[in-house]
Every structure is written in structure tokens, then in C-alpha cells.
Amino acid sequence: MSLPELSWQFAYARLGWALVLAALVAGVLELLLARTQPQRWRLPRKPLAAIAFLSLAWMALPGEASPAWHLGLAFQSPSALLACLCAASLLARWHGVARSRPLLPLRLAAALAAAGTLLYLDAFGLLAHGYYHAGFGAGAALLAVLLAAACAACIVRGRARAQAGALLGAILLFSGARLPTGNLWDALLDPLLWAWALSTLGLAGLRVVQRRGVGGHQPIEPQLPAMQAGGTEPFSSLKESS
């Protein structure tokens, strides 16, 4: 088990949280811009560069003046995959690429949600199979190689390049510098990314339920009694006979 240098961990935590903050602020501003000015959905480059610079400068402040210090107490450092996904979103906005697909597709969200559930149940002692500690072993290195090969194949074939590139970048950070903690699971998952995956699956399930409810609900027309010939009301012959 090899751990990254402590100075690298500090530098990575500040850079990672800066990417997360910049992507979050840019996403919120872009959403507000799209609602107020639909014809100008794209965030201009100068504000985007200013957001990235200010986020990096704020996170780089020393000691408790940096938000990264407080975030580290609660979440340690963001996973390499989360940082790379945020970097991919910023890069797409910089080039003005309109994403027709979500940055976190359902398949990736399902895989992250399932892996996170197993890891957190194991960490809480409800499973106690040592899944987290396996991220330090040789099996984790083999899994990283297989994932890197799969990501390279997706990039060459042009399938989900942004997600494959982010995952490949996370694996390279883990393989080359052992960031963020030397554990493969910390490079691929963190509580924020797990919550993102769960919310993505929850919203997708809610949309499916709403579509089924709208499609399956058909107004029931009142069934009026059939009229007899001659325009008389039903059972009128019984009334007359009585």
C-alpha cells in the first residue's frame, strides 16, 4: 500500500474543491441565464474564467481562511472522478458545447450508487467484508487497468467521451500520483458524487412514474342510458303502465 505525498494531498484538495465550486457556480449562473434569456444560454468566456480564477484563489487561501479546510473536515477531498467531471463541464462551457445528454448518465449513476451503497454499508459494519480496504490491494490495480482500457475504447469509438475522459483522468491520477488517498474507491467515489448519483436515479424514476401516470390515466366518460326509439326515456313504458 503506497500513499500519496502529504503536500500533494493538500494541493489536490484545494484544486479539486476549486473545480467543484467553479462548476457549481457556473451551472447555476447558466441556468439563470437560460431562464431569463433563452437565446443566450451560453455563459460567456470572461465570466467563466473569472469564476474559475476566483474559486481557485479562494480555495488557495492559507489555513482556516480557505473553504477547502472546512470542507476537508466534513468530506476530506473530492474524488478524482468528481473533480474530472467538474473540469469536463467547465471545458464544455468554455467551448460552448451544448450537452444534449446529462453529464452523469443513468448507467454511470447506477454503478456509482450501487458501489457507494456497498462501500458505506461495509464502512458502517453492516456487511463487514472489507470492500473499502480492497481498494489498496492488487485487485484494485487490475480493476484500474481494465477501467482505463474500457475508457480508452469508448473515447476511440466516440461514445460518452466526456464521461470516459473524466473516468480515465481519475484513474491516471490514482495510478500516477495515488491521489487522493491511495485508495481506488476514494478516486472514483465520494459522498457528494454518491448523492449526485442517487438524486439522478431518483429524478429519473420520478419522471417514469409521472409519464406512466399521465399515459395511463384516461378520463372515463359517463355512460348514459340508451335512448329508446321515438325519443322516450328508458323505463317510460313501465311508468305509463303503472
In sign, the C-alpha dihedral spanning 56, 58, 63, 69 is negative
Report helix, strand or coil for 67: helix
Quote the pLDDT of residue 3: 82
- pLDDT exceeding 90 applies to what percent of the chain? 58
Of 44 and 57, which is predicted with more confidence?
57
Residue 242: predicted pLDDT? 39
> How distant, in Å, are the alpha carbons of 61, 69, 109, 180 from that of 11?
11, 12, 28, 10
CA distance 60 to 63: 9
Q: Which residue has the higher pLDDT, 226 or 52?
A: 52
Taking each helix axis as running N to C, give the angle between helix 161-177 and helix 138-157, from 0 to 180 degrees, rounded to the nearest 10.
150
pLDDT of residue 49: 95
| Of the candidates 82, 97, 96, the residue with the CA atom closest to the CA atom of residue 163 | 82
Q: What is d(CA 87, CA 12) in angstroms, rounded to the nearest whole number? A: 13
Q: Residue 194 — pLDDT band, cuts 50, 70, 90? A: very high
Cα–Cα dist 212/181, whole Å: 44
Which tens digit of pLDDT belongs to each residue from 104-137?
A: 999 999 999 999 999 989 888 788 788 899 999 8
Which range of 36-40, 88-92, 232-236 scores highest in mean pLDDT? It is 88-92
Question: Mind listing the pLDDT tens digit for each residue in 149-181?
Answer: 999 999 999 888 999 999 999 999 999 999 999
Q: How confident is the model at residue 37 (pLDDT cuts 50, 70, 90)?
A: confident
Question: What pLDDT shows up at residue 99?
Answer: 64
Query: What value, to the nearest 5°, has the Cα angle with vertex 102 and ends 100 and 104?
Result: 155
